[in-house]
């Protein structure tokens, strides 16, 4: 049985009452994978915007497996030191990773962030040499319209991520770069310029699903659940 783990920032953990792209991806796997699987991770909560803390269990669908490794305001900088222990403890087989926006916005430049990607991959493989990782480039948010230097860093990091994933990809431990959804528009696919609304959630989940289907033969073409 494959064990999937979502790794991400505020776009992945989501807020109280939201479905999240994690939920859309789980629906897709549930309906298309055709074999038993599990969603694993050391955390279960959503972010509560009323308290600004990850304390909410108010999932829109109580049947959704809640496990994840995601955090509001966390990035590669935060996850690289955690991932080895987490993969080992949760026995994760496939990591679905969407990180970087927070790093570039507050902690590290593009080159330093790429170094943290390398550290993350090394730590994950130290726990399981066969772990597979699907990695989403940074999806720009509304800040790129007002901050040219930030926009440049996002572009630069995404360029470096292409090279990094190509350099680190291994036959026994595939590192898959997920093409970002071409039609994603932070004006219409988010509720605040950063965090995905329903259409944004589906587009992110679809990008992961299509990449894994094409490269790994895992699941099938994305078909949103009604």
Separation between Cα atoms, residue 193 and residue 196, nearest integer Å: 8
Q: Which of 94, 114, 196 is nearest to 162 (CA)?
A: 114
Question: What is the tens place of the pLDDT at every residue in 112-133?
Answer: 999 999 999 999 999 999 999 9
User: What is the percent of the chain with per-residue pLDDT over 90, rounded to a whole number?
Assistant: 93
CA distance 79 to 116: 9
- Is 135 in contact with 162 (CB distance < 8 Å)? no
Residue 60, pLDDT above cutoff 70 = yes
- Pairing outcome for strands 94-98 and 132-136: parallel
Domains and CATH numbers, the chain: 2-216 (3.40.50.1110)
What pLDDT is recorded for position 18? 86
Instruction: Outline where 33-75 has alpha helix (H).
Output: none
For the chain, give the percent of residues with pLDDT over 70.
99
Cα(60)–Cα(144) distance, integer angstroms: 31
Report the C-alpha gap between 183 and 207 in whole angstroms.
Answer: 11
What does the chain come to in residues? 226
Higher per-residue confidence, 226 vs 149: 149
Section 197-207 average pLDDT = 97
Which tokens in the block code for residue 79? 């996850």
Task: Please list, in sequence order, all residues whose beta carbon lies within 8 angstroms of the beta carbon of residue 62, skipping any fewer than 6 positions away.
Answer: none
Query: Under 8 Å CB-to-CB from 55, ≥6 apart: which residues?
Result: 45, 48
169 phi/psi in degrees, rounded to 5: -60, 135
- Residue 31 tokens read as 């309906």
- What is the band of 226 on the pLDDT scale with cuts at 50, 70, 90? low
pLDDT bracket for residue 168 (50, 70, 90):
very high
Neighbour count for residue 156 (Cβ, 10 Å): 16
Positive or negative, the CA dihedral 72, 75, 78, 83 is positive
> So what's the pLDDT on residue 14?
95
Does this model's pTM top 0.95? My answer is yes
Tell me the β-bridge partners of 97.
7, 135
Per-residue pLDDT tens for 63-98? 999 999 999 999 999 999 999 999 999 999 999 999
DSSP secondary structure of 170-207? -SSS-EEEPPPPTT--TTTSBSSSSSB-HHHHHHHHHH
Report the chain's mean pLDDT, rounded to a whole number. 96
């Amino acid at each position: 049985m494959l064990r999937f783990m979502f790794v991400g920032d505020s776009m992945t953990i989501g807020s109280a009452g939201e479905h999240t792209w994690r939920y859309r991806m789980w629906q897709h796997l549930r309906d298309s994978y055709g074999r038993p699987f599990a969603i694993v991770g050391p955390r279960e909560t959503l972010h509560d915007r009323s308290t600004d803390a990850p304390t909410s269990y108010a999932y829109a669908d109580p049947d959704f497996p809640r496990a994840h490794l995601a955090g509001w305001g966390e990035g590669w900088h935060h996850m690289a030191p955690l991932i080895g222990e987490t993969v080992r403890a949760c026995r994760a087989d496939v990591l679905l990773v969407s990180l970087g926006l927070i790093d570039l916005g507050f902690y590290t430049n593009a080159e330093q962030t790429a170094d943290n990607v390398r550290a993350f991959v090394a730590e994950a493989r130290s726990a399981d040499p066969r772990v597979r990782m699907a990695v989403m480039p940074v999806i720009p948010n509304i800040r790129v319209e007002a901050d040219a230097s930030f926009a440049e860093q996002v572009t630069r990091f995404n360029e470096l991520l292409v090279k990094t994933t190509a350099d680190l990809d291994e036959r026994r431990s595939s590192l898959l770069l997920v093409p970002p959804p071409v039609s994603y528009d932070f004006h219409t696919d988010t509720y605040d310029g950063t965090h995905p609304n329903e259409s944004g959630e589906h587009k992110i989940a679809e990008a992961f699903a299509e990449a894994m289907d094409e490269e790994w033969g895992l699941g099938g073409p994305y078909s949103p659940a009604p």
